[in-house]
Amino acid sequence: MNISQNIKVAVDAVVFGYEEGQVRILLIKQKFGVYKDRWALPGGFVLDGESLSGAVERELREESGVAVDYMEQLCTFGDDVARDPRAQVISVAYLALVNPSKLRLRASSDAKEAKWFPADNIPELAFDHNTIIAKGLERLKAKVSYQPLGFDLLEKEFPFSDLENLYRAILGRDIDRRNFRKKLMSFGFLEETDKMRKIGSGRPAKLFVFNKQEYRRLESEGIHFEIKYA
């Protein structure tokens, strides 16, 4: 059978960060093309002989200077054959979690600028990237409601209130704080340190660290986690 095909494959990265009580998303400003000077997600075409994960990691490094520890495949976008004015392009989107305070953004390649935007104040983006971000937020909210996540978004040592605030920011609603704390502490992957931190005008708060090894062990056995709302 003779097959005539001219479809290109691309990758896009929905990178979530958390800073100053806000969930943020990494965007880059296009340097070239029909969407020049428009904001977009980091991403680009997959090279011949390159894996999808390798392509998205390369594009993140080239366009923003960012390397991530946590990444998962989000969704494939291609039902709209005109989603990219250059050609028929299928894009495989990835979701990543990072702590912005640990990163120094550095735009390069075909990116003119790299910047964090509040997730609730995203401009009109190039291509169908607003739709991709909406899907990413949907996945993030779903995941944190049934699986303890988000530690990649926090400092290495953090007060428990930071974790509560992170979940409230992601979910967009108040949680039952007492139930949330009791449930998370029961798993054993949060470890209390002997350090304290002064927060505002209140009393100093104990700092915690995340035991990733213990979390991975529990994850392999299956973790049942359900958030109760206030």
Active site residue ranges: 113
Beta bridge partners of 24: 17, 118
Beta strands in 78-156 (DSSP E): 89-97, 111-118
In the block, residue with structure tokens 């949680």: 175
Considering only CA atoms, give the Rg of the chain.
20
Whole-angstrom distance, CA of residue 124 vs CA of residue 19? 22
Spatial contact of 56 and 152, defined as CB atoms under 8 Å apart: no
Question: How far apart, in whole angstroms, are the C-alpha atoms of residue 5 and residue 33?
Answer: 24
Contact predicate 134/89, CB 8 Å: no
Which 3-state string (H, E, C) describes 40-86?
ECCEEECCCCCCHHHHHHHHHHHHHCCCCCEEEEEEEECCCCCCCCC
